[in-house]
Structure 1
Amino acid sequence: MSLSRPAQPIRLYAMRLSGHAHRALLCLSLLGLPFETVEVDLVAGEQKSPEFLAMSPFGQVPVIVDGETVLFDSTAILVYLAKRYGDPSWLPDDPVGAARVQQWLSMASGPIAHGPCAARLVKVFGIPIDYDVAVRVSTRLFDVVEPALGKTPFAVGSHPTIADIAAYSYIAHAPEGGVSLAPYPNIRAWLARIEALPGFVAMPSSPLPATAA
């Protein structure tokens, strides 16, 4: 739960099937913060409007507006929410703990984005990305993460951090990109632990591709 509360509900600009946006939504919910969601119609091009670009110059979701503070980029939003409203367990202050969280945030912007996220973009949204590369990146990622999650209940230790939030959405929805989680029992157990947290909110499912297990 959060240690302080915003003066008014935080506004979250999102798209319901975006894993990046789900990170922000999940963090807001796990911290028990009041917020309202504004759906951005990416198909209609609302992300290209001058009003939206003034908040998010790359035309991407999510964006949060917290009073006078406007932030884009999902991992930056997680850092802000944890530091502004969360207790230190969500983003440790000690050098090693902070660095280990950063490793996962970098993974979220690297192999998670280029692996399960990219594979899902191909299968669900028809984005012309090299699917075989995305699957290979996903497999390598899961081969690294699987043994790590067999050592600790959560990404960096015994309790959840924003590292777990950053990694959860696209890994949980990897089967939508045709990447099975069946060979990875530790990853599946970790996902279940996150889903059991008070305040957890799921991202809507997309149709499973025929190749997913």
Structure 2
Amino acid sequence: MTAPIKLYRNPKSGHCHRVELILAFLDLPYETIDVDMANGAHKASEFLKISPFGLVPAIDDGGYTLADSNAIITYLVLTYAKGSDWMPEEPKVAAEVQRWLTVAADNIYSGPCAARLVKVFGVTLDHEAAVAKAHDLFKVMETHLTRRDWLAADTITIADVAGYSYIAHAPEGGVDLNPYPNIRAWLDRIEAQPRFVEMAKSPIPELI
């Protein structure tokens, strides 16, 4: 790799942060390029060549471009850390990783992510329903993490990376994490990893 990987992002996006996390964890050289989405930069023709749906995150790795956060973290691990614990090859464990990537794209997106979109970005969504979905998810995760440290394997994997950002920042969407000590301990373990990088914080609203 002769040049840093370009990461096109919104610094307050959890989808973008999960990509930045794996770049940092793998100690890959990268540069961040903040896309001015408020002024429509994500819909400009040049950006659409990189991300056809006009979404962040997207990367440019030496001319290879890719959008979608879960696709990107999978690509990065298979390209630069294949055979590592980040994406186990044993079929049952690999399936567990895939299951939690699906949770990130579904339950996390429609729960804590959606609730945060309302409070941080003013997106018109059903906030009450999103908060309820977040708590439904967190109850399952809290039980799942009762006797294990990580979501899919005995060590941290991309499943944990995909789940971290929106759950860690759930309070910004009005979702209380205090009832979930196992989840909070899991977040602490991720934050204790070498080269961990934080996501930009937003004000936490009063919980109703």
Normalising by the residue count of structure 2, what TM-score does the alignment of the two structures yield? Answer: 0.97
Q: State yes or no: 1:35 paired with 2:30.
A: yes
Does residue 1:91 correspond to 2:87, yes or no? yes
Displacement after TM superposition at 1:177 (Å): 0.4
Equivalence for 2:126: 130
Corresponding residue for residue 161 of structure 1: 157
Q: Deviation string for 1:141-193 (max 9, x for gaps)?
A: 00111111122111112211000000000000000000000000000000000
2:73 matched residue in structure 1: 78
Partner of 1:191: 187
Alignment gaps of 5+ in structure 2: none
User: What secondary structure is seen at the aligned counterpart in 1 of 2:136?
Assistant: helix
Partner of 2:206: 210
- Greater shift in the superposed pair: 143-152 or 178-187: 143-152
- TM-superposed deviation, 1:211: 1.4
**Alpha-carbon distance in structure 1 between the residues aligned to 2:75 and 2:147:** 28
Within 2, Cα distance between the matches of 1:153 and 1:13? Answer: 31
Q: Which segment is superposed worse, 86-95 or 35-44?
A: 86-95
Q: Per-residue displacement from partner, 1:109-143 (whole Å, max 9, x unpaired)? A: 00100000000000111100011110111011001
Percent of aligned pairs sharing the same letter: 53
Name the SS of the counterpart of 1:43 in structure 2: helix
How many angstroms does 1:88 deviate by?
2.1
- For residue 91 of structure 1, give the secondary structure of its aligned residue in structure 2: coil
Which structure 1 residue ranges, 5 or more long, are not aligned? Answer: 1-5
Query: What does residue range 133-144 of structure 1 map to in structure 2 within 5 Å?
Result: 133-144=129-140
Matched residue type, 2:18: R
Structure 1 position 210, deviation (Å): 1.4
Q: Deviations over 1:48-102 (max 9, x none)?
A: 1001111111111000111131110000001001111124200011111110000
Shift of 1:19: 0.4
Q: CA RMSD in A?
A: 1.0
Could you tell me which of 101, 109, 112 is aligned with 1:105?
101
| Aligned match of 1:57 | 52
Matched residues, number? 207
Query: Secondary structure of the equivalent of 1:89?
Result: coil
Counterpart residue type for residue 154 of structure 1? W
Normalised to the residue count of structure 1, the TM-score between the two structures is: 0.95
Alignment of 1:10-29 (within 5 A): 10-29=5-24
Amino acid corresponding to residue 161 of structure 2 in structure 1: I
